[in-house]
Amino acid sequence: MAPRHDDSMTSFPSRRAVLTAIGAVPVLAVAMPSPSATAAAAAAVVVDPSVRRQTIRGFGGMNHPAWAGDLTAAQRDTAFGNGTGQLGFSILRIHVDENRANWSAEVATAQRAIAHGAIVFASPWNPPAGMVETFTRGSQTNAKRLRRDSYAAYAQHLNDFTQFMKNNGVDLYAISIQNEPDYAHDWTWWTAGEIVTFLRNNAGSISTRIIAPESFQYVKSMSDPLLNDAGALANLDILGAHLYGTPFSNFPYPLFKQKGQGKELWMTEVYYPNSTDSADLWPAALGVGEHMHRAMVDAEFQAYVWWYIRRSYGPMREDGKISKRGAVMAHFSKFVRPGYVRIDAASNPQTNVYVSAYTGNSTVVIVVVNKNSAAVSQQFVLANTASAAVSSWVTDASRTLTPLSGPGVSNGSFTATVPAQSVTTFVVTVGSSNGTDTQAPGTPGLPTAAGVTSTSVTLSWTASTDNVGVIGYDVVRVSGGTETPAGSSATAQATVTGLTAGTAYTFAVYARDAAGNRSARSSTVTVTTTAGPTGGCGVGYQVVGSWSGGFQGELVIHNTGSAALNDWTLSFSFTAGQTITQMWGGTPTQKGGAVNVVPVDYNRSIPVGGSVTIGFIAGQGSTNPAPTTFVLNGGTCANE
């Protein structure tokens, strides 16, 4: 058995030792701001439900019976129930043991989590021993990696675990390829290239959603190659990351926002700020509130998952009671429920004050973390809405998830005094700006599909009606009893991207109004994407710059197949009279609108996973539409 994944163990280099070595030790305590009187009233925080950010999948933690002992029946209810004295977790992470004889240990807690409405996902630390080889990695002479000839067998191993859990009443939401492939002293190492290969060639056979890479510190060099490889990305459903020692400045991920349309972004493991302090130490536990705020607002994660649920430093103490760290987590997990959407709000309206806002089920939830040593006064204004009532809960040095009265609300505005060194959650019942609106929009019409490609589909439907007005629509993918957000639109049409070629998808639509009321779900439509590229390639096309009568363009060819592309020829057509006058990185011939490009000496071969970039200057007429189809060596490439 692998050593415990826990700083209290000494059988492998502790997280603290590793972080110290790389200069990224997490803070050990929350810094104490200078004492001051109650701050003067700051500018109002405008909360706008019409400006929607990411859909929240949930909050949760890890249960690992082999390493930390299973949760008891009562502790399962404390973790996943949402009553008084419960955490309201909606995500459970479990372990995929390399020995299938141990799989049954995961069932009981997973079944209870499912019964409470939570989703369950799983992460492996090692493949079965027969699939592993040892190699030398730096000073580690017994490093482990998955044998290349075992990739298909490993995919079947993950699929077998998925089916085992399904047979026991637990339909896994997703499964990871590998826990922390870049921190694997006692488990299995993977390079980013190996993950790309597995995703491209083997992950498509797994019957649930796929998570990767679960990097130890959200190291982007582990995930960038996944996003930049069309074949790998097609089989990736959730980009997972851990945040051990990751500075807040590294939380945003522009490349994911560019390339990850249709994918989910999860934080799948962390403890914070350390594993040495008691989880009840205050105000150190308040640091969890800022960390969660940053994960939701700066990183725009859709899920936040703690390490061990029950631990001295975790959300639940060893006696089964909620800790202060757990209470801070519960200010999010109990009130920001699965399917809620983060909405626009000033995130840092005062020094050491952090605000995030969410909407769902005719409510707006506002979570405020005040790290100051004095109370602050803060006004909140709900744009285009009027609120019927505000409820609030607070956790500070002397109170834990304690309900408060008020504050009073008028014309969509309220002002609250936020206690010193506290986290406060406000739950606002909202209505329209013309009075309380509790009427949901009418059901949207049956969606119809058009523009179906190997990776996308455009859906349209008959618009909904509402007593005040529909402000938007949410498109969901439907699989059995599970819904997955697929897109949103202000009009009765949306394009869903990031789909897998030759795959059937079922979609439905909800309408919503300004009050946050949501319609009944539309009827479903099932769409099968086209078979996709036959050339094992992807081509990206863009206009780099333009001027009167001309433009500069760029083509990037990616080899997404399983063999090198040698002495390639790329063919495409311009449809508006564009004419290439100069090219670098390739040699063109053009007849009418038809263009063929062959390589130059230095890029005659495109290796597996590699790419070449071609630039050109061309003349144009009054319009400049992009080519729609690219053919490489006779095979159609994916448009990137």
Domain boundaries, the chain: 40-52+342-432, 58-338, 447-529, 537-639
Q: What is the pLDDT of residues 560-616, one digit of tens each?
A: 887 888 888 899 999 989 999 999 889 999 888 899 999 988 888 898 888 899 999
Question: CATH says 58-338 is which class?
Answer: alpha beta
Whether the Cβ atoms of residue 158 and residue 213 lie closer than 8 Å to each other: no
> What is the token pair recorded at 130?
């027969």
Q: Do domains 40-52+342-432 and 447-529 have the same CATH topology?
A: yes
Global model pTM greater than 0.85: no
Separation CA 616–CA 552 (nearest Å): 6
Supply the CATH classification number for the domain 537-639: 2.60.40.290
Separation CA 524–CA 479 (nearest Å): 11
Whether the Cβ atoms of residue 268 and residue 211 lie closer than 8 Å to each other: yes
| pLDDT-based confidence at residue 434 (cuts at 50, 70, 90) | very low
Amino acid at 520: A
| pLDDT-based confidence at residue 534 (cuts at 50, 70, 90) | low
CATH architecture for the domain at 447-529 = Sandwich (2.60)
Q: Which is higher by pLDDT, 493 or 13?
A: 493
Supply the CATH classification number for the domain 40-52+342-432: 2.60.40.1180
DSSP 290-326: HHHHHHHHTS--SEEEEEESBSTTSSB-TTS-B-HHH
Q: What is the SS3 assignment for 574?
A: coil
End-to-end CA gap in the chain: 43
Separation CA 258–CA 399 (nearest Å): 43
**Catalytically active residues, by annotation:** 180, 269
Average pLDDT over residues 509-528: 84
pLDDT, position 22: 39
User: How high is the mean pLDDT of the chain?
Assistant: 88
Least confident of 292-296, 383-387, 495-499: 383-387
Beta strands in 275-410 (DSSP E): 303-308, 341-344, 353-360, 363-370, 376-382, 385-395, 402-404
List the alpha helices (DSSP H) in 336-397.
Answer: none
Q: What is the pLDDT of residues 174-216, one digit of tens each?
A: 999 999 999 998 899 999 999 999 999 999 999 999 999 999 9
Separation CA 394–CA 409 (nearest Å): 18
Amino acid at 232: A
Q: How many residues does the chain have?
A: 640
Separation CA 328–CA 114 (nearest Å): 23
CA torsion, ordered 23, 26, 30, 32, to nearest 10 deg: 0
Average pLDDT over residues 478-499: 78
